[in-house]
C-alpha cells in the first residue's frame, strides 16, 4: 500500500467511526469537498500536510492520532 492509499483509507475509516459523510467532513474541516474527494481518489498524488491537518481538525483529532494506525506501518518505500 502506498502512503497516499493509506491516507485515503484512514480518512474513510475515521469518517465511518465518527458516522460522518465526506461532505460533512469537508464542511467541518473548512475545505471544499473536492479537496477531500481528491485525497480519496487518484487525483491527488501527494496530499499536503496542511490539508491533512485540516481534515484532522474537522475530525476532532490530532495529526498524531491520524497517523497512529497500523495502515501506516506497512506502506511501501516512497524513494525509488
22-29 and 49-59 are packed helices; what angle lies between their axes, rounded to 10 degrees? 100
CB atoms within 10 A of CB 63: 13
CATH fold for the domain made of 3-72: 434 Repressor (Amino-terminal Domain) (1.10.260)
Domain ranges of the chain: 3-72
From residue 47, alpha-carbon distances to 17, 19, 29, 35, 37 in Å are 21, 23, 15, 9, 11
25 touches 10 (CB < 8 A): no
User: What is the pTM assigned to this prediction?
Assistant: 0.90
51 touches 33 (CB < 8 A): no
What is the predicted pLDDT for the residue at 77?
82
Residues 2-41 pLDDT 10s: 899 999 999 999 999 999 999 999 999 999 999 999 999 9
Q: Cα–Cα distance between 26 and 8 in angstroms, integer? A: 14
Amino acid at each position: 500500500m502506498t502512503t497516499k492509499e493509506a491516507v485515503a483509507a484512514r480518512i474513510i475509516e475515521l469518517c465511518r467511526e465518527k458516522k460522518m459523510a465526506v461532505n460533512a467532513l469537508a464542511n467541518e474541516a473548512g475545505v471544499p469537498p473536492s479537496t477531500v474527494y481528491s485525497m480519496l481518489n487518484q487525483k491527488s498524488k501527494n496530499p499536503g500536510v496542511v490539508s491533512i491537518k485540516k481534515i484532522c481538525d474537522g475530525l476532532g483529532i490530532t495529526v498524531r492520532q491520524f497517523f497512529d494506525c497500523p495502515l501506516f506501518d506497512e506502506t511501501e518505500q516512497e524513494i525509488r
